[in-house]
A and B are shown apart, each in its own frame.
Chain A
Amino acid sequence: MLLTHQNLLGLLFAQEKSSLIPTHSSVLSMILYVLIIAAGLAIFAYLIYQRWQILKIGKYEDRFSNFGARIKNVILVAFLQRRIFNELQAGLMHAFIFWGFCVVSINSITFLGEGFISGFHLPLLGPDQILGKFYGFMKDLFEVLVLIGLGIAFYRRLILRPKRLTYSFEANLILIFILILMISDFFMFGIKLNTGELPHEFSKFVFASAVVGNWVSSLSVDTQETIFMINFWTHLVVFFTFLNLLPLSKHFHVITSIPNTYFVKLTPKGQLTKMNLEDETAESFGTSKIEDLTWKQIFDTWTCTECGRCQTYCPAYETGKPLSDKEINQSLKHHIYDEAPYIIEERKKKSAQTTGQPAQEKAEETRKRPSMIGEVIKEDTIWACTTCGWCEEACPVQIENIGRIVDFRRYLVLTESNFPKEATSVFKGLENNSNPWGLGSNKRQDWAEGVEGVRWASDTPEFEYLFFVGCAGSFDDRNKKITKAMVKILNAAGVNYAMLGNEEGCCGDSARRLGNEYLYQMLAQTNVETFNNYKVKKIITTCPHGYNTIKNEYPQFGGNYEVYHHTEFILKLINEGKLKLKNPINQTFTYHDSCYLGRINGIYEEPRNILKGINGVRYKEMPRHHYKSFCCGAGGGRMWLEEHIGTRINANRTEEALSLNPDAIAVACPFCLIMLDDGVKDKGAEDRVKVLDIAEIVAKAIE
């Protein structure tokens, strides 16, 4: 063929088409296509590389061992969207879009491949193959579900406007992009069916595309080709724009969420990390700057979808404190992006120095980084948390919030001694007398004066169970009654138990949650030593905080015991026939799930079963029950702190309980007891509603 300019033009803008796809009939198109893909991928690779560099700033943390458990979590939480379905409407919305995304991604490969090779398809997925037909159907089905999901999403964002969401332009833009991708796909498949590029039989499977195809089938072939071309380029450009928008927005979670569920924390929910406090050269303990964060903590901030579910039942957020898991993620994320370039630069300079190159001028020394604690994350935020676990339970992508808040507290307490003043006497009391009230440690067994049947470890050579009384049960007047009730119950059931009396020390929970790891380790080690000296194997405790730390955290100090919460144990005694609930109690009860018993340690049914097993008890469930239970406000060491901001957490929960008009509110935790008791008194309802521990109720029933 002669190289005339007509022929050249023909080559560039050829008229005859073997395929609708423009890259096969025009060299210019192919060049443009390659350029767009190359640019799109290059930008994406760069963005990911940047983030990889940032990730390396974080400290190492092992989230790689135990492959099996991790994969299981990925399947349940990511692929089966388990947590997403905690809210049905939002659950369906997201599941449709996510599953749609998963299914349609295979088609994206086909789409890109076709641009290079006409008629490209993945092995076994050709339009005339069985698997291909099946896939075609699934693709269209899920794309329709995506459209439904998008409909729900737009409804929620534009009309319903639930308060937990963040209403940003970016969120709506992403929805529009997804819409465009779906619609353009339908058009492309539809028109391909019309022109015969896809076999007619295929229309039975890509049913939705066929419908769309019918809408334009009456138009001329040229028009349809143009429409196809517009959809093709739009799809391509939107695809790569979307791809590159991911790392730049909250939609980074599209990439990071599945890995995040792989990197999930596999240690027990109630277990915090153990710090190494022996380093005598360390100038700083805890987390106060970006370099103190672990890579997983950095990764978490990228995975936040801004869904706000963490806020729904957050006791601090709901009562007006400036604490929100979502906001912490966003603040940290922006802080890290802002500062990372400087940190990376510094490290490059440092490593240049160590390779013997002359020291560079410290040009950046004059730059003052905003403080992570204080400026980026306010101190009020850090102290407002009750560690109730709602945020971590609700988060669909399993972001860890409690650990980092405690890490911030650790810095404030251990390195700066900067903490709410009220905690000073608590720390000193724990240090000197092993209880937060600072009452003499030799007064710890005074509650037992005049109580019959008490058994002390020092006099009971072979006891099976250690009844760990705890500080509240030993010193707080109201809770001493629960201790006495337990003694009565254990004796009635003939349990071979003993108590440590003055040899018992605080379990240390409050110290650890307030960030005073140094004090906590001292308390834990002392108790473990005492327990092991007595060869303790099994422990019963009435306090979920003691329960949690002894069961889940004492192993960090060589203390491995079988730990029972008293409600578990009482139910066991009842089932074994050792306790007879013979006296009826004709009252209406509701039950408050303690955070450390329920959400954090999974004990929900035992207390309910005990109550329901008592004759005459009428039981009513609170609206926020089981894993949705609303915290009483005392956890996280906040029992000892003043509430200065917003409304009272315990008032919020008390109102809910009182709205059921019960005769009594049953609890299974000394802190919840104090908080709800105070709450009831504040409302002036103490004459008509009692707050009772399960042990007291059972003690009455077995009399």
Chain B
Amino acid sequence: MKILVTAKRVTDPDMKIKVKPDGTGIVTDGMNYKINPFCEIAVEEALRIRERGVNAEIVVVGIGPKEAATEIRTALAMGADRGILVLMDRYYDSTVVAKILKKIVEEEKPDLVITGKQAVDDDSNQASQMLAEFLGYPQACFASKIELVDGGKKAKVTREVDGGLETIQVELPAIVSADLRLVDQPRYPTVPNILKAKKKPLKEVPVESLGIDITPKTEFVKMTEPPTRKAGIKVPDVPTLIEKLKNEAKVL
């Protein structure tokens, strides 16, 4: 079978994020980047599906600038087989991502697509669902467990929803988006695998060559800093604390 997974290049979520004074974006000087943690989970799950006994080719797709190849190589070092980087250097939103991925899916014809449920820079959590609709595929989002059943023709997916866990069964091909608890910890690549990954095929595809409409359906206006946390105060005693929590913070 063929599994398609995503690997987005995102700013490291542990880095300090500062909005540029002119509001056009965040400061990227000295920024560190890494693979989107949810995508990393998706890659790890694909590898585990294979290790559980399915003969699968795992293809990684990323969208971004040339540097985004690094994150695809990370996925290859974990064990994926080949990568596709769609070169993109202009403003885009989830609708564009979904359209690009649709084109890739139509070309690659994977049986299963596992994405990260959201990217930790954008935090939209839209592209996977939109992709499913564009393709007419069933969707199983926020997955915390995936099981191939019915001879690999269906996937039984447990989803993290409000108040509990929901289990559904989807016919393949389907779109599954990975939630945090799908995998306890993505593997740390071994050095032999890191060295091998350098040689695995990684195709760079300029987005224009896909021949699709990539007009975004949103427009960026500006970016602002969030309201800052007011410096804390020390209270002298319990009655004062309770009073402040009740009347000032309004949390009691």
Within 8 A of B (CB), among A396-438: 414-417, 419, 421, 424, 427-429, 432-433, 438
B47 to A: closest C-beta gap in Å: 12
Chain A residues closer than 8 Å to B14, beta-carbon distance = 429, 432-433, 438-440
Residues 1-29 of chain B, each 1 if its beta carbon lies under 8 Å from chain A, else 0: 00000000000101110000000000000
Contact with B along A274-300 (1 / 0, CB 8 A): 000101101111000000000000000
Identify which of A415, A427, A433, A518 contacts B32 (C-beta below 8 A). Answer: A433
**CB nearest to B199 among chain A residues:** A280
Assess whether B30 is in contact with A441, with CB atoms less than 8 Å apart. yes
Sample (21) of A-B pairs whose CB atoms are under 8 Å apart: A279-B195, A282-B192, A282-B195, A285-B191, A414-B190, A414-B191, A415-B192, A417-B187, A417-B188, A417-B189, A419-B188, A421-B185, A427-B188, A428-B188, A433-B14, A438-B14, A440-B15, A441-B15, A442-B15, A443-B16, A446-B16
Per-residue contact bits, chain B 84-99, to A (CB 8 Å; 1 contact, 0 not): 0000000000000000
Does chain A have a CB within 8 A of B31? Answer: yes
A110 within 8 A of partner (CB):
no
CA of A277 to CA of B16, assembled, Å? 33
Question: B34 in the interface, Cβ–Cβ < 8 Å?
Answer: yes
Q: Does chain B have a CB within 8 A of A502?
A: yes
**Which 5 A-B pairs give the minimum distances between C-beta atoms?**
A440-B15, A414-B191, A440-B14, A417-B188, A280-B195
CB–CB A502/B32 < 8 A: no
Q: A415 contacts B190, CB within 8 Å?
A: yes
Contacts of B188 in A (CB 8 A): 417, 419, 424, 427-428
Q: Separation in Å of the B190 CB from the closest CB of chain A?
A: 5
Is B32's CB under 8 angstroms from A285's CB? no
Q: Complex: how many Å from CA A277 to CA B194? A: 11
Residue from B12, B185, B194, B199 in contact with A518 in the complex, judged by beta carbons closer than 8 Å: B194
Interface centre among A277, A414, A421, A442 (most CB of B within 10 A): A442
Q: Which of B12, B31, B191 has the most CB of A within 10 A?
A: B191
Closest-CB distance, B146 to chain A (whole angstroms):
22
> Is A518 touching B191 in the complex (CB atoms < 8 A)?
yes
A417 to B15 Cα, complex, angstroms: 26
Q: Whole-angstrom distance between the alpha carbons of A633 and B13 in the complex?
A: 31
A416 vs B32: C-alpha distance when bound (angstroms): 27
Contacts of B15 in A (CB 8 A): 433, 440-443
Chain B, interface residues (CB within 8 Å), range: 20 to 34
* Distance A428 CA – B198 CA, assembled complex (angstroms): 19
Query: Is A442 touching B192 in the complex (CB atoms < 8 A)?
Result: no
A286 to B, closest residue via Cβ:
B191
Residues of A close to B198: CB separation below 8 A: 280
Contact yes or no, A440 B192, CB < 8 A = no
Q: Mark B177-189, 1 if CB is under 8 A from A, else 0.
A: 0000000010111
Minimal beta-carbon separation of B25 from chain A (angstroms): 16
Residue in B32, B194, B195 whose beta carbon sits within 8 Å of that of A432 in the complex: B32
Whether A433 and B189, one on each chain, are in contact in the complex, defined by CB atoms closer than 8 angstroms, is no
Within B90-144, which residues are at the interface with A (CB < 8 Å)?
none
Given pairs A284-B192, A417-B188, A433-B12, 13 additional interface contacts (CB within 8 A): A280-B198, A283-B192, A285-B192, A421-B185, A424-B185, A428-B188, A438-B14, A439-B14, A440-B14, A441-B15, A442-B15, A442-B31, A443-B15
Report chain A residues within 8 Å CB of B16.
Answer: 440, 442-443, 446
| A415–B191 CA distance with the chains assembled, in angstroms | 6
Q: Are B185 and A432 in contact (CB under 8 A)?
A: no
Residues 500-523 of A, flagged 1 when their CB comes within 8 A of B and 0 if not, give 001000000000000000100000
**CA separation between A430 and B209, bound complex, in Å?**
38
| A669, B195: Cα distance in complex, Å | 37
B190 touches A416 (CB 8 A): yes
The chain B residue with its CB closest to the CB of A277 is B191
A-chain residues with CB within 8 Å of residue B190 when the two chains form the complex: 414-417
In the complex, which residue of chain B has the Cβ closest to the Cβ of A275?
A: B191
- In the complex, chain B residues whose CB is within 8 Å of the CB of A439: 14
| Residues 176-223 of B contacting A (Cβ, < 8 Å) | 185, 187-192, 194-196, 198-199
Give A446 to B31 CA distance when docked, in angstroms.
Answer: 16
* B31 closest partner in A (C-beta): A442
How many whole Å from B189's CB to the nearest CB in chain A? 7
Residue on A with the closest CB to B33? A432
| CA A446 to CA B18, docked complex, whole Å | 14
A443: B residues at CB distance < 8 A: 15-16
How far is it, in angstroms, between the C-alpha of A462 and the C-alpha of B191 when the chains are bound? 40
Contact partners of B30 in chain A: CB under 8 A: 441-442, 502
Question: Given the complex, which residues of A lie within 8 Å of B191, measured CB to CB?
Answer: 277, 285, 414-415, 518
Q: Is the pair B192, A432 in contact by a Cβ cutoff of 8 Å?
A: no
Query: Which chain A positions have C-beta within 8 A of B187?
Result: 417
In the bound complex, residues from chain B placing their C-beta under 8 Å from that of A424 are 185, 188
Q: In the assembled complex, which residues on chain B have CB atoms less than 8 Å from the CB atom of A277? A: 191
With both chains docked as a complex, state the minimum distance between the C-beta of B4 and any C-beta of chain A, in angstroms.
24
Determine the residue in chain B with the shortest Cβ distance to A428: B188
Contacts of A428 on B, CB cut-off 8 Å? 188
**Given the complex of chains A and B, what is the CA–CA distance between A428 and B187 in angstroms?**
11
Distance of A99 from chain B, by nearest CB (Å)? 49
CB neighbours (8 Å) of A438 from chain B are 14
Residue in B closest to A419 when the chains form the complex, CB atoms: B188
In chain A, what residue has the closest Cβ to B192?
Answer: A283
- Give A419 to B191 CA distance when docked, in angstroms: 14
Chain A residues with CB below 8 A from B12, complex form? 432-433, 440
Residues in chain B near residue A502, CB distance under 8 A: 30
Bound Cα distance from A592 to B12, whole angstroms: 38
Whole-angstrom distance between the Cβ of A471 and the nearest chain B Cβ = 13
Closest to B18 in A: A442
Contacts of A441 in B (CB 8 A): 15, 30, 32
List of A residues within 8 angstroms of B185 by Cβ: 421, 424
Kindly provide the distance from the CB of A501 to the nearest chain B CB, expressed in whole angstroms: 11
- Contact residues in B for A284 (Cβ distance below 8 Å): 192
State how many angstroms separate the Cβ of B192 from the closest Cβ of chain A.
6
Closest CB of chain B to A388's CB: distance in Å?
26
**Nearest A-chain residue to B35, judged by Cβ:** A432
Give the CA-CA distance A415 to B190 in the complex, in Å.
5
Residues of B within 8 Å of A282, CB to CB, are 192, 195
- The answer for the CA separation of A518 and B188 in the assembled complex, in Å, is 12
A419 to B188, CA, bound (A): 10
CA distance A140 to B80 in the complex (A): 76
